[in-house]
Chain A
Amino acid sequence: MKQKLKEHKEPFVRIAKRVKIEWWKAWGIRGIALVGALLVCAAIIYAVVALNPLQVYKAMFEGAFGTNKRLWVTIRDMMMLLCIGVGLAPAFKMRFWNIGAEGQILAGAIASAACMIYLGTLPGILLLLVMFLCSAVAGGLWGLFPGVFKAKWNTNETLFTLMMNYIALQLVAFFVALWENPRGSNKVGIINPNTRAGWFPPLFGQDYALNVILVLALAAIMFLYLKYSKQGYEIAVVGESENTARYAGIRVPSVVIRTMTISGAVCGIAGFLVVSGASHTISISSAGGRGFTAIIVAWLAKFNTFVMILIAGLLVFLEKGAIEIASRFDLNNFVSQMIMGILLFFIIGCEFFIQYELKFRDKKHKEAQA
């Protein structure tokens, strides 16, 4: 057998972990990724509808912010995404992959809708409070189950929470059949259209002002909870290392169960927002994939609430804009999902260049060595 001695060559490019990076460099890289994503999206849109991409982006802008009503719908949806992201943050900080937000939202939505239907005669504020609590409890339960099994027997939470999504989805289908109105439509229809019982009341003349206040309050509370409370500190320690946590005398199982319940409860409140503060009905698309999108939002923001607002805003802008294009050019709405995917690919990919730096082969350096 002939064996060739391989000459060692310095690779053309090698990767090294950055010790630290200036903030302007990090945001510069993110900016480049964003521009890259928009360019690719523009190319695809051009290929499909053969329109000037600049005009397309102008149309998108009008779709998202063009009228006062559109602006508020954009804000409302942004707050939805933020609310779910806020709910996911504690779980992710604990390194617990809660991908069951979709199900937790639906569980909360079922609870809210049930209150609206069966307790519609309660006075307004009381009814809203009951709905708030019930949806938090329902979402909390949806988070509690996987949490308990994770804590006791280390059952894989990613798949457990994922399966819980579909159980919630089928439950919604069951309740839709139960509550359908009118009969045979397989739709629940607008609940309490005349009395408006259980609807968010308009504040300052805006239908969605309460959504904004509620979500921002939740976000602020969660921020303080994670950063300054003892429980928040425990979550951080468990997330970094379970062994350290155990050594420090933290009861890991109870932290896991508690955190998952809180996470589920906030997602359940997001379900309350969907039913009571936005659609006033319930259907199997009430969550509409936002549970999954929010996972990416929360992860990209590294659980920083303010970055979450930024990313949620960007995604909702794209979604609304793409839907506007779709309706103008008679395409279907899924174009927004496609564009969102492309943007996320770029944002996820660019994190690499923030954490690592590429070192290209340096010829002079090599000659000097030789």
Chain B
Amino acid sequence: MSLDSLLALLQAAIVFGTVILFGSVGEILTEKSGNLNLGVPGIMYLGGIAGLVGAFFYEMNNPNPVPILCLVIALGCAIAAAVAGAAIFGLLTITLRANQNVAGLTLTIFSGGVANFFGGSLNRLAGGVGQISVSATSAVFRANIPVLRDIPIVGKLLFSHGFMVYLSLILAFAVSWFLKRTSVGLNLRAVGENPATADAAGINVTKYKYLATCIGGGITGLGGLYYVMDYIKGTWANDYTIESLGWLAVALVIFASWRPTRAIWGAYLFGVLFWLYLYINGLSRGTKELFKMLPYVVTIGWLIIVSLRRSRENQPPASLGLSYFREER
């Protein structure tokens, strides 16, 4: 493999990894409150489509869109929709105590429908033809610094990305710091480990669960936005990629043992594994499909290793997946 193709592989891996990194960091925050939200793909769908729709209407009504407004509108819509999706999940599981797996899967079904419906037919509903596309907003999301970008090797690897790549890293470190170093983060972890004890200690369990779920959802939604604006450059594709990336983000949470900083290199590793087939010569089309299994196979392998080792620090939050009802202690 030449240096150029190695660089190209790493670059593609970072783009791929960023989508699932957002998803994972958000889900880690949610799961630390004891909520296993299997609606991650759904929330990513919502974030992606809302950002796209917001930008679409802005660009349609303004022939000369202002870059900063494009950015704010897309980000705002994406986060609002993602938080709304997470809030539905919260309402069902926290207040109405529904089963978390079932509520999460339903959220994924619903959001997948919403996103693909609007992504596929919005342009026609608005009176246009063909595919929805937001080139101006996408350009803002993909903008990078020319001087730094042109540095050989390092520039291509580190500075050729849109700002959301760096935002995902900042968020990963911030969430890690929040969970480990702040008292609010400690409270949150207490809620996830043992809500009854946390409740007895005077922590408002319901509030913590709602906030963690909604904020986590907001971060997860950014993954969908990044996918739409950067990965596929401001259009929509009804090909279920967001869904499979969303499930990979859920897998990455386990792979990272609920640690956001570990999710960073995990995400890029998944990216390398996913794109590897492009850089191996002489593969037939069928074999390429087999290669795309790699991230999933690696996750299963890791799951097995973790369960074999049973080390205490790699375990999920103790109350993960259970709803909490004060009177049933």
Contacts and interface: CB of A to CB of B under 8 A. Distances in A.
A345 B42 CA distance: 14
A308 to B, nearest CB: 14
Max count, chain B CB within 10 A of own CB: residue among A174, A296, A330 = A174
A155 B106 contact: no
Given A166-B244, A337-B112, A338-B110, A349 B96 contact: yes
A163 interface: yes
Nearest to B289: A173
B135 interface: no
A286 to B, nearest CB: 13
Contacts of A337: 109-110, 112-113, 116-117
B281 interface: no
Interface in B79-100: 88, 91-92, 95-99
Nearest to B36: A158
B64 interface: no
Given A166-B247, A170-B289, A345 B106 contact: yes
Nearest to A186: B285
B50 to A, nearest CB: 14
A333 to B, nearest CB: 8
A61 interface: no
Interface stretch (A20-28, A230-238, A287-295): A287-295
Contact of B113 (A16, A292, A335): A335
B105 A99 contact: yes
Interface string A242-268: 000000000000000000000000000
A162 B102 contact: no
B103 A348 contact: yes
Interface in B226-246: 238, 244
Interface string A313-347: 00000000000000000111011111111101100
A341 B93 CA distance: 16
B284 interface: yes
A289 B296 contact: no
B170 interface: no
Given A17-B327, A149-B307, A159-B251, A174 B290 contact: yes
A163 B308 contact: no
A106 B307 CA distance: 27
Contacts of B180: none
Contacts of A356: 97
A340 B113 contact: yes
Nearest to B110: A341
Given A159-B299, A167-B296, A178-B286, A338 B327 contact: no
A35 B303 CA distance: 43
A351 interface: yes
B110 A156 contact: no
Contacts of B102: 295-296, 299-300, 348
Given A177-B286, A348-B102, A167 B293 contact: yes
Which of the listed residues B115, B244, B289, B328 has the most CB atoms from chain A within 10 Å of its own CB? Answer: B289
Contact of B88 (A166, A186, A300, A345): A345
Contact of A17 (B96, B289, B292, B328): B328
Given A162-B251, A173-B289, A292 B307 contact: no
Interface in A166-225: 166-167, 169-171, 173-175, 177-178, 186
A341 B96 contact: no
B172 interface: no
B106 A332 contact: no
Contacts of A149: 303-304, 307
Dominant SS among interface residues on chain A: helix
Interface residues of A, number: 56
Nearest to A293: B109
Contacts of A158: 36, 101
A109 to B, nearest CB: 16
Contact of A156 (B98, B254, B308): B254
Contacts of B290: 170-171, 174
Given A170-B293, A349-B96, A48 B303 contact: no
B307 A349 contact: no
A155 B285 contact: no
Interface stretch (B68-76, B118-126, B157-165): B118-126
A163 B300 contact: yes
Given A17-B327, A170-B293, A289 B124 contact: no
B121 A332 contact: yes
B99 A159 contact: no
Given A159-B303, A162-B247, A170 B292 contact: yes
A153 B109 contact: no
Contacts of B92: 345, 348-349
B297 interface: yes
A186 B238 CA distance: 17
Ranked nearest first, the 4 interchain pairs of A and B with the lowest CB-CB distance are A341-B110, A337-B113, A338-B113, A177-B286
21 contacts: A97-B101, A99-B105, A153-B308, A154-B307, A155-B303, A158-B101, A162-B250, A163-B297, A166-B244, A170-B289, A174-B289, A177-B285, A296-B102, A331-B117, A331-B121, A331-B125, A334-B120, A335-B113, A338-B113, A339-B113, A345-B110
Interface of B: 36, 38, 88, 91-92, 95-99, 101-103, 105-117, 120-121, 124-125, 238, 244, 247, 250-251, 254, 284-287, 289-290, 292-293, 296-297, 299-300, 303-304, 307-308, 316, 325, 327-328
Interface of A: 15-17, 48, 97, 99, 149, 153-156, 158-160, 162-167, 169-171, 173-175, 177-178, 186, 289, 292-293, 295-296, 299-300, 330-332, 334-342, 344-345, 348-349, 351-352, 355-356
Given A156-B316, A169-B244, A175-B286, 19 more contacts: A159-B303, A162-B251, A166-B293, A170-B290, A292-B109, A295-B105, A296-B102, A296-B109, A300-B102, A331-B125, A334-B114, A335-B113, A336-B113, A340-B113, A348-B92, A348-B103, A349-B96, A352-B96, A352-B97
